[in-house]
Amino acid sequence: MQAVSEFLRGLEGTPVAIFVAQSPWGFPANLTVHLVAVTVVFGMIAVVDLRLLGLASTKCAVTDLCREALPWTWGAFALSAITGALLFMGQPVKYWDNQAFRLKFAVMALAGINMLIFQLITYRDVARWDRDAAVPLAGKLAGAVSLGCWITVVAYARWTAYVML
């Protein structure tokens, strides 16, 4: 744990971290881009999850919806990861000590595992149920778990911000 603390204190002293922390626009600009990117990530994931749950876009094929949504999702996710890393660099010690911040990443890991299971197992048989309004239970479960995880990620992100004040 001592090595992590030393690394974070060193990170805090880098020119990029100092710029983010002390510039009048470094933090707000990064935060704005981060929030927009996270909104796109959450929105695109929610569209697919709601389709899997049979609550929206039931006349649209799952494969078509995924093909349209996933490039936006991954692009916005990459942007949110970059801006999130920059935000973290501005106060790494304070963020690391924030339980909500760490829980956010734990839930994101669960969302990733859920996505992998869906892609490697459930989605392999998508041709059988692609255009059906009724998605198999495994697909509905994947959609529900994903939606629940991402709602929780957003909640922990907001909790992180309130604790940082």
Q: Structural domain tally of the chain?
A: 1
Distance CA 137, CA 128 (A): 13
- pLDDT score recorded for residue 165: 67
CA atoms of 84 and 23, how far apart (whole Å): 17
Q: Is the pTM of this model over 0.75?
A: yes
Q: What's the pLDDT score for residue 71?
A: 96
Domain extent for 37 = 2-164
Predicted confidence pLDDT, tens digits, the chain (165 residues):
789 989 999 999 999 999 999 999 999 999 999 999 999 999 999 999 999 999 999 999 999 999 999 999 999 999 999 999 999 999 999 999 999 999 999 999 999 999 999 999 999 999 999 998 889 999 999 999 999 999 999 999 999 988 876
